[in-house]
């Protein structure tokens, strides 16, 4: 199941906090990559369509 835009942003923030707490830059690298996904219009549109179809079929 795809995360909503709110949860996607929350997960990015959580990754950044984990990077700060642990000093492990891999968390920050994943956060950067996920932020990049959210910035592309095509990715946002595809996520909206997929999330809508999922809700129509399963709710």
Q: What is the pLDDT of residue 27?
A: 98
* pLDDT above 80: residue 1: no
**Which spans in 1-59 are helix H?**
5-22, 25-39, 41-58
* pLDDT above 90: residue 18: yes
Both structure tokens of 55: 């809700």
* pLDDT tens figures, 22-48: 999 999 999 999 999 889 999 889 988
Q: Which of 40, 30, 43, 57 is nearest to 3 (CA)?
A: 43
Cα 15 to its chain centre, rounded Å, is 10
* pLDDT above 90: residue 2: no
**How far is residue 51's CA from residue 59's CA, in Å, rounded to a whole number?**
11
């Amino acid at each position: 199941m795809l995360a909503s835009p709110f949860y996607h942003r929350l997960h990015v923030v959580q990754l950044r906090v984990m990077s700060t707490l642990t000093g492990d830059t891999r968390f920050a690298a994943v956060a950067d990559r996920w932020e990049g996904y959210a910035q592309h219009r095509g990715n946002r549109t595809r996520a909206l369509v997929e999330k809508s179809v999922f809700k129509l079929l399963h709710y």
